[in-house]
Amino acid sequence: MQFGHFDDLNREYVITRPDTPLPWINYLGCQAYFGLISNTAGGYSFYKDARLRRITRYRYNNVPYDFGGRYLYLRDNGSGEFWSPSWQPTRSAIEDYSCRHGMGYSIIGSTYQGIEAHTRYFVPLNENLEIWQLTLTNKRDTPVELSTFSIQEFCLWDAQDDSTNFQRNFSTGQVEVEDGVIYHKTEYRERRDHFAYFGCSRQLDGFDTQREAFLGAYNGWDTPAVVKAGKSTDSMAHGWSPVGSHHVKLTLQPGETQQIVFVLGYQEMPVDQKFDPPGSQIINKAAAKATLAKYLDPTQADAAFDRLAAYWKELLGLCQVETPDPHTNRMVNIWNAYQCMATFNMSRSASFYESGIGRGLGFRDSNQDLLGFVHMVPSRARERILDLAATQLSSGGAYHQYQPLTKRGNNDVGSGFNDDPHWLIIGVSAYIKETGDWSILDEKVQYDNQAGTETPLYEHLQRSFAYTLARLGPHGLPLIGRADWNDCLNLNCFSDTPGQSFQTTTNKNGQVAESVFIAGLFVHSGQELANLAEARGLQAEAARYRADVAKMTATVMAHGWDGDWFLRAYDDFGHKIGSKECAEGQIYIESQGYCVLAGIGLEDGVAQKALDSVRTHLATKHGIVLQQPCYSKYYLELGEISSYPPGYKENAGIFCHNNPWVIIAETRLGSGDQAHDYYTRINPSAREALGDLHRCEPYVYAQMIAGKDAPTHGEAKNSWLTGTAAWNYFAIVQWILGIRTELGGLTLAPVIPTTWPGFRATRVFRGVTYHIDVKREGKGSQASLEVDGIAIKGNTITPPSDGRKEVSVKVTLR
Ligand code: GLC
Ligand code: GLC
């Protein structure tokens, strides 16, 4: 069953019934002010950091599921009936409901008893605010007198504290109301130098700032006392729960349309200008007022919306493809790229499944997220790389996570995830391949944010690589530490105490358990680093890296190969994990995908064997599961992986993030059919028709789809914030379509399905627009290139030296 449809022309997904299986959400804002918004207007906003600067409040795991958000109530003052045009919170019998999730905006609305209402929510570029534009039309043949009530609940900034420290927080809340604008200023009187404001384009008929006054002590959001009565109480919040609600009355003639604009914003003030008059306790509102005056004007709001649309048109225009498969086109051209912006901004911090207080930006996650983002806004990728590198430790290891607001490593989680450092090499390499900006390697970057420790970024990469060489185990494979990419393979944890963190508990000294996955990653990052070294004229150093890579490859073949597939690891007792010898967990996906992606065994049939084993043992129609057989009980020596019930998450779920590694591996062996087939199995657009089963949004990837051992096989979970976004974008664009960035230029090496006659693409690369036309003349993937009519040798196009800005490329596949 479907709950809506794609509108590719407008780059929107149109949800046509409000009762989607789960809230289907969108992100507002793409720079510093962010919001999450569901298809019924649920969600919240924050500035930069979902934990430390939460602007509005949201309650996770609520009942009903998604309650609390950017709500509007309409009240027919004639009959006293009221409803919400976004369905929630009142869940009235609305008609023609639709929610259009677009690029950085959502338009939600419906018609109720002849009153049409739609609200467009978005965050203008370069502003720390959001706009709600409500458009009302009277389709009745009689005039109507309406009341409009807005409401959102302020969070007292620190989302963690806000949801736990009630003995203090019920006394700290403070607001001001001036000229119909509601200012939320909790803790502004002491150490905070920021506040929120909520304004409305109309003269108010009243307002409320205390939640209890608005709702009534025992009412829910579906029956607010104020809305029922049709009258605000002009309440002032002194402690308890500050909210912002405006009341606007209006009369609509038959056929008449009116618009009301609401602006919710965040304002920081220099410490010496916080109060007006100075020395008072009153907020200096000058800056906020100026911004409000601008965006409460519907014309200015429209203009800001147009700028946002133009911005996204340009970003998406950097890579557009036209293939025979509509699901590929839609994901590459619109939604996958869009999701890559979200994962770049959020890492794994704030979604409807990530509470915004649990995790900041992950070191490995953010580095990988660059793969799908770097072509869009390279300058921000550059800044991110330097921020990440500055949290690296001098050992070459890394803080596993850092807080986006402070840009400091997160001590609660610490370090010791032994794959982490390598992702920095891969992220930096991807950045240079895209931009040709070698200067980044010379940037002086601190370790652990300590002044005086600066070295060039290049040395950070050297230390990343050396980190593993200094931590090899009994077989010469990399020690796993707390975990590798699989956060749940905790081989030094040995936890038998409920509530201990699997990630940070270490009960063994960690000198035995080794990871074949990190070995594959090392082979990959070592080649990337050698290429960088070579290009910098460091031939001897490059040769050393290549020798290390060759040695690790040999070690993998000697101690990491099980006969038909790659082993996954050795545990603390030196026992194999991911081997035929194991009772459960005999074969894992990560080492198959990553070792082949890294190029191990391509020539001698080993890679093919590994991928055949994936097909036989791990592939399902809903995607490739993480391991088989699943773990049926808890294994003390394996940790969290065996804590999940069979088929979920890391215990044999389809953990989508690692599927693209196999997809890329398949292309490395020239299997375009198999690669694209795997790609399609987890492509959300291709799964749209399975809405009842899949349950998550059909326009973005989810972290997980339940595996074949799960009672709900095929059910997706944890949508939006997943490395799947970047990796699948990378897999389809760079490896299947073969439009690949290299240090020396743009390589075209498509490995597409045999049934495809070809495809077209436009790719803007280092300021040049490449118009690519691929035609199949044989069944294989041998590519010959004509660049502006001239046949070239090989398949890498170097950027034109004569200043040409448009280049046509014909690719013939045989
Ligand atoms: C989560 C983490 C990621 C990890 C993956 C597998 O998605 O964010 O870092 O690699 O799980 O455990
Ligand atoms: C849990 C999850 C894993 C995630 C980790 C992050 O282990 O299963 O996916 O990466 O938490 O802390």
H runs (alpha helix) in 251-335: 286-295, 298-317, 326-330
Model confidence pLDDT, tens digit, residues 770-779: 999 999 999 9
Let me know: does 743 contact 531? Beta carbons within 8 Å. Answer: yes
State if residue 369 touches ligand 2 by the CB under 6 angstroms criterion: no
pLDDT at position 181 is 98
List the structure tokens of 641: 């992986």
Is the shortest distance between the CB of 486 and ligand 1 below 6 Å? yes
Residues 6+ apart with CB under 8 A from 139: 111, 114, 115, 116, 254, 255
Question: Atom of ligand 1 at shortest distance to CA of 365?
Answer: 9
Count other C-beta atoms under 10 Å from residue 666's C-beta.
30
Helix axis angle for 336-346 and 363-373, nearest 10°, is 150
Mean pLDDT, 10 residues at a time, the chain of 814 residues: 95 98 97 98 97 97 93 98 98 98 98 98 98 98 98 98 98 98 98 98 98 97 98 98 98 98 98 97 98 98 98 98 98 98 96 92 96 98 98 96 88 92 98 98 97 98 98 98 97 96 89 98 98 98 98 98 98 98 98 98 98 98 98 98 98 98 98 98 97 97 98 98 98 98 98 98 98 97 98 96 96 98
Q: What is the pLDDT of residue 413?
A: 87
For residue 354 and ligand 2, the question of a CB distance below 6 A is answered with no
How many angstroms does the Cα of residue 639 sit away from the middle of ligand 1? Answer: 15
Q: What is the pLDDT of residue 412?
A: 85
Please answer whether residues 598 and 523 qualify as being in contact, where contact means their C-beta atoms are separated by less than 8 angstroms: yes
- Closest ligand 1 atom, CA of 655? 6
Question: Per residue, what are the HEC states of 389-432?
Answer: HHCECCCCCECCEEECCCCEECCCCCCCECCHHHHHHHHHHHHH
Query: Burial letters for 585-605: b for 16+ Cβ neighbours within 10 Å, e otherwise?
Result: bbbbbbbbbbbbbbbbbeeee
Ligand 2 centre distance from Cα of residue 720 (Å): 15
pTM of the predicted model as reported, rounded to 2 decimal places: 0.98
What is the token pair recorded at 261?
């604009």
The answer to whether 243 and 154 are in contact (CB under 8 A) is yes
Pocket flag, ligand 2, residue 503 (CB < 6 Å): yes
Q: How many angstroms separate the most distant Cα atoms in the chain?
A: 85
DSSP 77: T
Q: Which of 413, 404, 343, 292 is nearest to 54 (CA)?
A: 404
- Which atom of ligand 2 is nearest the CA belonging to 358? 12
Whether the CB of 484 sits within 6 Å of ligand 2: no
Ligand 2 pocket test target in 402, 488, 648 with most atoms within 8 Å of CB? 488
Number of the ligand 1 atom closest to the C-alpha atom of 723: 7
Q: Which residue has the tokens 């050396």?
A: 466
Give percent helix, percent strand, percent coil of the chain, each to the nearest 5: 30, 30, 40
**What residue type is 367 in one-letter code?**
N
488 lines ligand 2 (CB under 6 A): yes
Cα separation, 109 vs 540, whole angstroms? 64
Please report the pLDDT score of residue 203 as a whole number.
Answer: 97
* pLDDT tens profile 123-175: 999 999 999 999 999 999 999 999 999 999 999 999 999 999 999 999 999 99
Name residues whose C-beta falls within 8 Å of residue 300's C-beta, 6 or more positions apart in sequence.
294
Q: What is the pLDDT of residue 510?
A: 83
How many separate helices (H) and strands (E) can be counted in the chain?
A: 20, 43
Give residue 411's pLDDT. Answer: 85
Question: Is the shortest distance between the CB of 722 and ligand 2 below 6 Å?
Answer: no
- Which residue of 487, 705, 721 sits with most ligand 2 atoms within 8 Å of its CB, as the best mutation to test the pocket? 487
Evaluate: CB of 741 within 6 angstroms of ligand 2. no
Contact 797, 770 (CB under 8 A): yes
Distance of CA 811 to the CA centre of its chain: 33
Distance 713 CA to ligand 2 centre (A): 20
Annotated catalytic residue, options 49, 208, 487, 562 = 487
**693 neighbors 715 (Cβ within 8 angstroms):** yes
Tens digits of per-residue pLDDT, 282-292?
999 999 999 99
Pair of tokens at residue 393: 């430790």
Beta bridge partners of 319: 763
Structure tokens at 582: 């194991």
Assess whether 487 carries a catalytic annotation.
yes
Distances from the Cα of 460 to the Cαs of 325, 436, 668, in angstroms?
42, 19, 30
Residue nearest to atom 6 of ligand 1 (CA): 486
Residue 334's nearest CA partner among 13, 686, 763, 655 is: 13
Ligand 2 pocket check for 351: Cβ under 6 Å: no
For residue 100 and ligand 2, the question of a CB distance below 6 A is answered with no
pLDDT on residue 476: 98
DSSP class of 479:
B
Q: Residue 59 has which token pair? A: 């309650």
Q: Given the structure tokens 């298809």, which residue do they identify?
A: 39
Tell me how far apart the alpha carbons of residues 352 and 335 are, in angstroms, rounded to a whole number. Answer: 18
**List of E strands, 483-529:** 514-515
Cα–Cα dist 269/263, whole Å: 19
Counting ligands in written order, the one closest to the CA of 413 is 2
**Residue 359 CA, closest ligand 1 atom number:** 8
Show Cβ contacts of residue 136 under 8 Å, excluding neighbours closer than 6 positions. 74, 115, 116, 117, 146, 148, 250, 252, 257, 258, 259, 260
Report the SS3 class of residue 527: helix
Q: Which atom of ligand 1 is nearest to the CA of 486?
A: 12
Q: What is the dihedral of CA 98, 99, 100, 106, to 10 degrees?
A: 140
- The ligand minimizing its distance to the Cα of 703 is 1
721 vs 703: CA distance, rounded Å: 7
Instruction: Give the strand pairing for 242-252 and 206-210.
Output: antiparallel
Residue of 493, 650, 718, 722 to test ligand 2 pocket, by largest number of atoms within 8 Å of CB = 650
Report whether residue 650 contacts ligand 1, using a CB cutoff of 6 Å: yes
The pLDDT, as a whole number, for residue 359 is 81
Residue nearest to atom 10 of ligand 2 (CA): 487
